[in-house]
Amino acid sequence: MIARRLAALLLLLCLAPLTACGRTPTSTPVASRAPTTAPTELPAEDTTPLSTSLPPLEIVVYFTDSERYAVGNPPFEVAVTRIVPFNPNPPAAVLSEFFVGPTAEEQAQGLVAITSGFTGFSALEIQDGIARVYLTGTCLSNGATYTVAQPLMTNLLQFPDIHYVKIYDEKGTTEQATGPTNSIPVCLEP
C-alpha cells in the first residue's frame, strides 16, 4: 500500500512541472518497480572485522646462475619458488621478488640478480599479450651482452597471457615501443 502511494506521488511530482507549463506528456510513463514492503528500521551496521588474510601466492622467480654464466653454459636463468603475500597481479609479484634479489640460501647456490643498475619498476602494463615494464634507477649496463633484459623476459614470459616484453628505461624509452615484438632500451644494447 505504501509502495503504491509512493509511486503515485512520484508520478505526480514528475508530471507537475509539465502540466504547469501547459504541456502534457507525450509518452506513457513506465511504472517503476517498488518494494512490496518498506523496512521499518535500518539493519544494524555489521561491525565484524573483515578477514584480511588472503591465501599466500606461490610464484616462480628466475635469477641468474653466476657459475653457468661464467662458463657460458646457458640457460643462465634458474627458477626458484617463493611464497609471498597474496597479490592479484602475479607478474608484478614476480618482478617485485626479482628486484628484492636472491635469498642468502639462493646466493650460496650461486644465484644473482643482474639488474644493470635498475632498482625496481614503477609500472607493469599487460595488454594484448604485451607486457610493458617501466624500470626505475639508472641504467648501467656497461656494454654487457647479458643484462637485466634476459631475466626480466624469462620472468614475464612464463605467464601464458604474455607473449612479448617491452622494457623501458628510467626515461620511459625503449627501442620498439609498438608492435608485437620484444624491446629493450638503447642503454641495454652492448
Q: What is the pLDDT of residues 67-85, one digit of tens each?
A: 999 999 999 999 999 999 9
Query: How confident is the prediction for the chain on average, in pLDDT?
Result: 82
Q: What is the pLDDT of residues 16-44, one digit of tens each?
A: 443 343 433 333 333 333 333 333 343 44
Q: What is the pLDDT of residues 105-152, one digit of tens each?
A: 999 999 999 999 999 999 999 999 999 999 999 999 988 999 999 999
Which helix H or strand E contains 104, and what residues bound it? helix 104-108
Q: Give the C-alpha distances (Å, rounded to integers) separating 1 from 9, 155, 171.
A: 12, 64, 67
Does residue 163 surpass a pLDDT of 70?
yes
CA 125, CA 106: separation in Å to the nearest integer? 29
pLDDT score, position 37: 35
Sheet of 111-112: strand order equals 77-84, 57-65, 111-112
Does residue 159 surpass a pLDDT of 90?
yes
Does residue 161 surpass a pLDDT of 80?
yes
CA 66, CA 72: separation in Å to the nearest integer? 10
pLDDT score, position 52: 64
Q: DSSP state, 35?
A: -
CA 129, CA 180: separation in Å to the nearest integer? 8
pLDDT score, position 22: 42
Which residue, among 173, 171, 110, 117, has the nearest Cα to 141 in the 3D structure?
117
pLDDT score, position 48: 47
Find the mean pLDDT for residues 168-177. 98
pLDDT score, position 65: 98
Find the mean pLDDT for residues 176-183. 97
Domain locations along the chain = 57-188
The pTM assigned to this predicted structure is: 0.72
